[in-house]
Structure 1
Amino acid sequence: MNRESVERIVEAVGGKENISAATHCVTRLRLVLKDEDKVNQRMLDEHELVKGSFSTNGQFQVVIGQGTVDKVYKEMVTLTGIGELSKEEVKNEAAKNLNPLQRAIKTLADIFIPILPAIVTAGLLMGINNVLTGAGIFYDDKSIVDVHTQWKDFASMINLIANTAFAFLPALIGWSAVTRFGGSPLFGIVLGLMLVHPDLLNAWSYGEALKKGSIDTWNLFGLHVEKVGYQGQVLPVLAASFVLAKIELFLRKRIPDGFQLLIVAPVALLVTGFLAFIVIGPITFAIGNVITGAVVWLFKTAPFIGGLVYGGLYAPLVITGMHHTFLAVDLQLIGSVGSTFLWPMVALSNIAQGSAAFAIMILSKNDEKLKGLSLTSGISAWLGITEPAMFGVNLRFRFAFISAVIGSAIAGVVISVAGVKAASVGIGGIPAPLSIVPQSWPAFIIGMIIVIVVPFLLTLTLGKLQKKSTVTSTVAATESFQHNPKN
C-alpha cells in the first residue's frame, strides 16, 4: 500500500471535499459522503485494494480487508484532514441523511447488533445440546444421553449455559437499548433483570395460569396489577428502556451533581418500574402476541406464500437494512412459542448468496481480483456474513443476485411447507443445522441442497448467456458497420 493508492480511493469517492466523516471497522472504511452520486464505482471496483463497496444506513462502506484497512484509514486522515472519529460519531453524522423510517430501522440495528454475539453463541450451544438430547437422530426413538447416560449431566450443563442468554434476554436488550437511547447501561441491565425477577410468574407459563385463574396480583390502592414476568419478550423491555433513558436524562439535567446519586437512579427506576408493570408491559405484551399470532397464522395457513415471500425478499431487505427488524421478530417467536420458522430461511438466503458468488468465480477466468474476491466472499457468506458476497460481487452482476434470490425463494417454500423450525438464532450459513430442531433436519438439508445448487447453476447459465449475447451483439454491430460504413 502506498500514498497514491489511498489518493485514488479518495478520488473514487468524490474527493476529500465529498467526505463529511470517516471511520473504519475490522475490514471496511465507513464513510459519510455529502453526495454518493459522485462516487466513481468503476474506479473503486478496479482498485487493487478494494474488495467491494456498498451503501447502508447513510454510510458508504468500502471493503479493504483486515489489517490493511487501518493503514488506509490513517493515510486517508492525513490526506483529507477530516480528523479521526469514533464509530458512534460517524453513525450520528450518517443519521442526518436518513428519513424517519430509516432512522427507526437503524435504531433497532444499533440495539440488536451489539447483543448478537451472545445470542448466536447461545444458539450454537443449544444446537450441541439438541444433538445430544434429540431422540431418533443416531438411535431409534432414543437420544445420545439416553444410550450413553454419562453424557446426561454434560448436556444439562451445556443447556444451562446456552439458555442463559435467552432467559435473561431482557437484561441484554435493556443494556443495549438504554445505552442507545443515551442512558446509563447499568440501569438498563437492572431494568431487564427486574422484568424477569424470580418472584414474577414466568411469561412462558402465563397462558396456562390464565386458564386456571391462578395469577398473583399486586393491590395498588385498589388497582390490581398482575405479577407477570417478560422472559423472552422484546417489545416490553424496548419500550421501558426508552422511557427509563428519557427520565434519567431529564433528571440529570435538573438535579445538582451532589444529589444525583441519591435521586436520579431511584426515581428513574421506580417510575419506569411502575409504568412497566402497570402500562408498558401489558400493552406491549399484547402487541407482541398479536404480531406473533399474525406471523404464525400466515405460515400455518399459507406456508407456500410465506416461504416464497420471506425466502425471496430477505436478501433485498439486507440492502435496505430492514433485515435487522426481523431479528426482533425471531426473538419474539422464540420467547412466545419456543421456536422460529423465519430464521431458517435467513440461513438459506446466506448460503444462496455464497453459491452465486462461487459461480461468478468460475465465470471470471481472466480477472484474478474478481476471482479471489468471489472465493473469499463466498466462503464468508457460507459462514453467515453475506455483505462481501452481496455488495462486492453479486449486485455488481445483477443476474447473480437474482439467481441467489430465486434459489432462496424456492428453498423458502420447501422448508416452510415442511414446517422447519429453529430452536434458536445461530450462524446463518453451513453451520445452521446446529440451530435447527432435529426433527426438521431432513427438510432443512433439502433446502440447503437447493440453495447450493440452484443459485450456482442459474448464475453460471445466465452468465454464459450474457457473455454470448455480448459477443453476438458485437459481431452484429461489426457486420452492420461493414455493410453500412456511413453509419
Structure 2
Amino acid sequence: MSEQKTAQQILTLVGGPENIASAAHCATRLRLVLNDTDKAQTAAIEALDLVKGVFTNSGQYQIIIGSGIVNRVFAEFIKAANIKEASTADVASAGANKNPLQALARTLSNIFVPIIPAIVASGLCMGLLGFLKSNQMIATDNLWYIILDMVSSSAFIILPILIGFVGAKIFGGNPILGATLGGILTHPDLVNAWTIGHGFPSTHFLGFDIGLVGYQGTVFPMLIAVWFMCKVEKIVHRIVPNTLDIILSPFIILAVTGFFSVVAIGPLGRLLGDGISTALLFLYQHAGPLAGLIFGGTYSLIVITGVHHSFHAIELGLLGDPKIAVNFLLPIWSMANVAQGGACFAVIFKKRDKKVTALALPSAISAILGITEPAIFGVNLRYVRPFLGGLIGGAIGGAYVVWMKVGMTAVGLTGIPGLAIVRTESMLHYIIGFAVAFVIGFLASFVLTPKNTKALA
C-alpha cells in the first residue's frame, strides 16, 4: 500500500479533517489530537499495511508507522486533510494536561529529536576515524582525515546554535535570534572549553570574575538561555512601537540576553550540566552493573510514556563534557530495545498463528533495528507477559554493557545500527550484550507467555 493511500485511509478512519484538532509527527508516529477520539476506527487503522499499532497517550492519538516512512505518510496526510503541520509541542499542549515533569520531558524531546541527524552524522564520522586511526589505515595529514575530523566535531561545536534555533521555535521565539544567541555563546572571542588548558581569561563585573569561556558542546546553558530569550522577546515586542519593532527589538533582545547569558545563565547552566554528568558518572563507576540492571529494566516502561527522547539532552551533556566525552547510557537503552525484539520473536514461536506472525515478525525486526514502538505497542503489551520478558532481557543486557564499560560516540542509534557509533574498543562487548539481551528477552517471554493467552485488544 502506498504512503498516499495509507494517509487517505487514515484520514477517513479517524473521522475526516473536521475531527482533527492538530497533527504532527515524531521519529516513528503520527501524533494527532482528535476532537472526538470515539469516532476513530482503531481496529481498521491497525489493519492497514503500513501501520504497526495505535495507542492513546497524553490526549494524543498516536499511530505507529516507523522511522523514515512516517515523514512521507505525514506529508500526504496533511495534504489530504488540507491542514498545516503543527509542532509536536502544539500537539502536546492541545492534548490532556500533564504534570510539570511530563511537560519538561516532552519539551526536551521536541527540541532534541530534530537535532539527532546532525549528531548521528558526527558520531559516525568519529567512529570511522577511530577505527581508521587505531588500525593505522589513514595519516592525520591526509585531506580526507582532515575533512572527516571536521565533520565529526562540527555538530558538537555548534550544538548551542542548533539548540538555539530549534528551542526558539518550541518556546515561541524567533529561531534566527535563537541561533544567533547560540553563536554568541560559541563566539571565537570566548575560549573553546574543549581545547582550554590550565587557566582561562576573565573579566571583572561588580566585583565578580566572569570567565570568558565558550559553551561549545554544552546543552543546559543554551537551553536556559534560549528560554530566557523567548521570555524577553515577548516583553520587548509588547513595549517597542510597531514602527520601530524590526529595528530595535532584535538589538534589545540580543543585547540583553547575550549579556545575561555570558554573565550568569551560562555559568549556572554549565554547573547544572556538569552536576548531572558527574552524578551519572558516579553511578556508572560505583553502582556499575546494578545501575545497568535498573536502567535497562525500566527503559521500555519510559518508552510507553513517549518521553524517552528527552534523555538526549543528558546524553549530549555526557558527550560534550571533555572529562567524559562518551555516551554510556545509549548502550543500555539499546539492550532494552533488543530485548523487546527478542520477546516479540518469542510470541511468534509460542502462538504459531499466521496473523500474529504477520504483525510480530516485522515488529521484532524493527526493534532489533532500534525502533521498538511496533513491538511494544503492537505485540508485547497486548499480551502483557512478553513485555515483562523484554524488561528482564533489557535489565540483564544493560547490566552487562555497564559491567564491560561499553560506550558510544553519538545519540539516536540503537540495535544493529548502533554498531556504527560504538567505540572500537567496545565493539565485541556490545555484540555480546546484544546477544545476551535478545536471548534472555526471548526465553523469558517464551516461558512467561502461555500458548492460549489472548491479546488485550
TM range, normalised to the smaller chain? 0.7 to 0.9
Q: Cα 1:272–1:71, aligned 2, differ >3 Å: closer, same or farther?
A: closer
Residue 345 of structure 1 corresponds to which residue in structure 2? 332
Return 5+ residue gaps in structure 1 as ranges: 78-82, 135-142, 471-487
Matched, 1:86 2:52: no
What secondary structure is seen at the aligned counterpart in 2 of 1:372?
helix
CA contact (8 A) 1:23 1:29 kept: yes
What's the offset of the Cα at 1:381? 2.1
Matched, 1:175 2:137: no
Residue 436 of structure 2 corresponds to which residue in structure 1? 450
CA distance in 2, matches of 1:267, 1:226: 23
- 2:265 counterpart letter in structure 1: I
CA distance in 2, matches of 1:223, 1:345: 42
Q: Where does 1:27-176 land on structure 2 (aligned, <5 Å)?
A: 28-33=29-34, 50-63=51-64, 66=69, 84-88=83-87, 91=91, 93-134=93-134, 143-145=135-137, 149=139, 152-176=142-166
Question: TM-score by structure 2 length?
Answer: 0.86
CA distance in 1, matches of 2:419, 2:17: 48
CA distance in 2, matches of 1:17, 1:149: 58
Task: Give the stretch that moved more between structures: 354-363 or 61-70.
Answer: 61-70
CA distance in 2, matches of 1:231, 1:373: 45
Task: Give the stretch that moved more between structures: 176-185 or 22-31.
Answer: 22-31
Counterpart among 384, 394, 402 of residue 416 in structure 1? 402
Task: Give the stretch that moved more between structures: 427-436 or 299-308.
Answer: 427-436
Residue 241 of structure 2 corresponds to which residue in structure 1? 256
CA distance in 1, matches of 2:378, 2:22: 20
Identical columns (%): 36
CA distance in 1, matches of 2:161, 2:77: 38
CA distance in 2, matches of 1:469, 1:62: 25
CA contact (8 A) 1:29 1:73 kept: no
- 2:391 counterpart letter in structure 1: V
CA contact (8 A) 1:121 1:426 kept: no
Q: CA RMSD for the aligned pairs?
A: 3.2
CA contact (8 A) 2:335 2:394 kept: yes
Residue 227 of structure 1 corresponds to which residue in structure 2? 212
Question: Highest CA radius of gyration, 1 or 2?
Answer: 1
Residue 277 of structure 1 corresponds to which residue in structure 2? 262
CA contact (8 A) 1:19 1:34 kept: yes
CA distance in 1, matches of 2:41, 2:211: 60
Residue 398 of structure 1 corresponds to which residue in structure 2? 384
What's the offset of the Cα at 1:20? 5.6
What secondary structure is seen at the aligned counterpart in 2 of 1:87?
coil
Matched, 1:384 2:376: no
Question: TM-score by structure 1 length?
Answer: 0.81
Counterpart among 240, 244, 247 of residue 225 in structure 2? 240
What's the offset of the Cα at 1:39? 7.5
What secondary structure is seen at the aligned counterpart in 2 of 1:123?
helix
What secondary structure is seen at the aligned counterpart in 2 of 1:126?
helix
CA distance in 2, matches of 1:3, 1:331: 35
Counterpart among 189, 193, 215 of residue 203 in structure 1? 193
Q: Residue by residue, what CA displacement relative to the aligned partner does 1:326-345 show, whole Å, maximum 9, x if unpaired?
A: 21111111111211211111
CA distance in 1, matches of 2:391, 2:39: 29
What secondary structure is seen at the aligned counterpart in 2 of 1:60?
strand
Residue 23 of structure 1 corresponds to which residue in structure 2? 23
CA contact (8 A) 2:171 2:230 kept: yes
What's the offset of the Cα at 1:53? 0.9
CA contact (8 A) 2:11 2:17 kept: no
Q: Where does 1:284-303 land on structure 2 (aligned, <5 Å)?
A: 284-303=269-288
What's the offset of the Cα at 1:205? 4.9
CA distance in 2, matches of 1:186, 1:379: 40
CA contact (8 A) 2:341 2:365 kept: yes
What secondary structure is seen at the aligned counterpart in 2 of 1:445?
helix
Return 5+ residue gaps in structure 2 as ranges: none
What's the offset of the Cα at 1:177? 0.7
Q: Cα 1:43–1:283, aligned 2, differ >3 Å: closer, same or farther?
A: same
Q: Cα 1:74–1:152, aligned 2, differ >3 Å: closer, same or farther?
A: closer
Q: Cα 1:116–1:68, aligned 2, differ >3 Å: closer, same or farther?
A: closer
CA distance in 2, matches of 1:287, 1:72: 41
CA contact (8 A) 1:178 1:185 kept: yes
What's the offset of the Cα at 1:5? 6.9
CA distance in 2, matches of 1:435, 1:199: 32
Counterpart among 448, 451, 457 of residue 467 in structure 1? 451
CA distance in 2, matches of 1:4, 1:86: 16
Q: Cα 1:33–1:99, aligned 2, differ >3 Å: closer, same or farther?
A: farther
Residue 358 of structure 1 corresponds to which residue in structure 2? 345
- 2:249 counterpart letter in structure 1: V
CA distance in 1, matches of 2:389, 2:121: 31
Q: Cα 1:469–1:326, aligned 2, differ >3 Å: closer, same or farther?
A: closer
What secondary structure is seen at the aligned counterpart in 1 of 2:200?
coil
What's the offset of the Cα at 1:49? 7.1
CA distance in 2, matches of 1:390, 1:442: 27
Residue 175 of structure 2 corresponds to which residue in structure 1? 185
CA contact (8 A) 2:24 2:87 kept: no
- 2:264 counterpart letter in structure 1: V
Task: State how many pairs are aligned.
Answer: 442
CA contact (8 A) 2:396 2:436 kept: yes
- 2:418 counterpart letter in structure 1: A
Q: Residue by residue, what CA displacement relative to the aligned partner does 1:419-446 show, whole Å, maximum 9, x if unpaired?
A: 1122222521202122122112222221
CA distance in 2, matches of 1:273, 1:33: 41
What secondary structure is seen at the aligned counterpart in 2 of 1:467?
coil
CA contact (8 A) 1:132 1:155 kept: no
